[in-house]
Amino acid sequence: MIFGRSQRGNAPVEPVTLKILVAGGFGVGKTTLVGAVSEIRPLRTEELLTEAGRPVDDTTGVKGKHTTTVAMDFGRITVREDLVLYLFGTPGQDRFWFLWDELSTGALGAVVLADTRRLEDCFAAVDYFERRSIPFLVGVNCFDGAARHPVDAVRQALDLDPAVPVVLCDARQKDSVKDVLVHVVQHAAQFTAPAPRQPAAH
């Protein structure tokens, strides 16, 4: 059963749709992540990097990158027949951050994608979601040739709250990305769950 179409006489199911942001620094793999898992052709707003942009687009560590997202990436994935995620990839450069407030409206949670070779690039995204109390996790994109660091070391380097999940992933692999998305939905559900009621004092 897909998107409310019943099979063999089953009653149609109206799926719950949730909005997830994919954020992080320039060149960390946000567009790749959305494209790896989206069941529709992703909407991309990429432009070629130019000589004029060199002073503001730091390509250190991402020398092979020739394009940049200037508005957003958009994709969709059906996690279960009753749960559909809409993915919005944010632009990574400072000059496009004015778009983040629009993109974050109504978001259930976020994935902050990190590259351990340039961890400082995701500080701004971590700070953004912390300040706005939007539940998020950190997905460490394991690039080929990059050193692998323990999850606890990444957590300490980013000074994360102990409740924030840190997950290793490969933004190119659908199953790996799907696992990250399941984790962020679960984390957001716990984040927004009402606190248990305390028994009345006698």
List, in order of start, the domains of the chain with CATH numbers: 16-192 (3.40.50.300)
State what percent of residues in the chain have pLDDT above 70: 73
* Interval 30-56: pLDDT, tens: 999 999 999 998 886 655 444 444 444
Do residues 110 and 127 make contact, with C-beta atoms less than 8 angstroms apart? no
> Residue 114: helix, strand or coil by DSSP?
strand
- Predicted confidence at residue 42, as pLDDT, reads 84
Contacts of 63 (CB under 8 A, 6+ apart): none
Greater model confidence, 1 or 47:
47
Greater model confidence, 85 or 193:
85
Do residues 131 and 157 make contact, with C-beta atoms less than 8 angstroms apart? no
Choose the weakest-confidence range: 46-55, 152-161, 182-191: 46-55
Please give the structure tokens belonging to residue 118.
């340039």
- Predicted confidence at residue 71, as pLDDT, reads 55
> Residue 111: helix, strand or coil by DSSP?
strand
Total Cβ atoms within 10 A of residue 65: 12
Q: Return the bridge partners of 18, or none.
A: 85
- pLDDT (average), residues 135-150: 93
* Alpha carbons 79 and 150: distance in angstroms, whole number: 28
* Interval 96-141: pLDDT, tens: 667 788 889 999 999 999 999 999 999 999 999 999 999 999 999 9
- Predicted confidence at residue 6, as pLDDT, reads 46
pLDDT tier at 1 (50, 70, 90 boundaries)? very low
DSSP string across 45-72: EEEE--GGGTTTS--TT-TT--EEEEEE
Please give the structure tokens belonging to residue 12.
């149609």
